[in-house]
Amino acid sequence: MIQEAFNRGITFFDIADAYGGNETLVGKPTSLKRLDIDYIDLYYQHKVDVSMPIEETMEKLRKLVKEGKIKYIGLYEASMDTTRRAYAVHPITAIKMEYSLLTREIEQDIVPLCRELGTGIMAYSSLGHGFFGGKAVVEDVPSKSLLVWTTKLRNLENNIGSLALKFTNEDLDEIFAAIPIDGMASARDLESFSKYDWKLATVPPRKHQVNLEII
């Protein structure tokens, strides 16, 4: 499936050790080996470490950029304050956030901030944890209007075909009116993930080092 997706022009693969060995899996297809990649295009801090000032983390990541080991830096579920402080050290290319019609709250704060900083948003759980991928009761909805988390070639073809689907402004107005920003809310899947929610991902202030000169 990974090889076929690559052959069809999909070159962005979101992987992490925390996902359970998919870094090794993605590295196996022959075509990817032929790319001879010796750097990471976009490297995320996977979940904000709320015990450490973000400036210290960013300085380490900035060093990796200077060494040519990574090209761009991303954050994962960072609060507004954390994002601003991180950006002051080095530009943030993207922030990974949960974002779907069921979880639109980032439109009020995070989306405007990203527009201000020129930072992209990498949406995850964009199907509402499967709600828009077939788990919900769907009536008279074209198959290509639904994205599917898939291991089947047929679903991959439908997902790629959905790129041709264009919503009019009237379509979007109707959708947003049906599901307003504060109209629905969903709990996080695991309690262990809840503590990393972006609204709580505020890091401690940086301690300024004081240098004393003895005369």
| Helical ranges in the chain per DSSP H | 2-7, 22-26, 30-34, 54-66, 80-89, 110-117, 153-161, 169-178, 191-194
Segment 122-135 mean pLDDT: 73
Q: What is the tens place of the pLDDT at every residue in 32-69?
A: 454 456 788 888 887 888 888 999 999 999 999 998 88
Active site (annotated) includes residue 39 = no
Q: Which amino acid appears at position 115 of this protein?
A: R
| Residue 20 counted as domain residue | yes
Residue 206 lies in a domain: no
Has residue 151 been placed in a domain? yes
Contact predicate 145/113, CB 8 Å: no
pTM of the predicted model over 0.85 = no
Query: Domain range for residue 30?
Result: 2-200
**Residue 133 within any structural domain of the chain:** yes
User: Roughly what angle, to the nearest 10 degrees, separates helices 80-89 and 110-117?
Assistant: 10
Examine residue 214 and state whether it is found in any structural domain, yes or no. no
| Residue 24 lies inside a defined structural domain of this protein | yes
CATH number at residue 63: 3.20.20.100
Among residues 19, 43, 76, 196, which one is catalytic? 19
In a domain, 212, yes or no: no
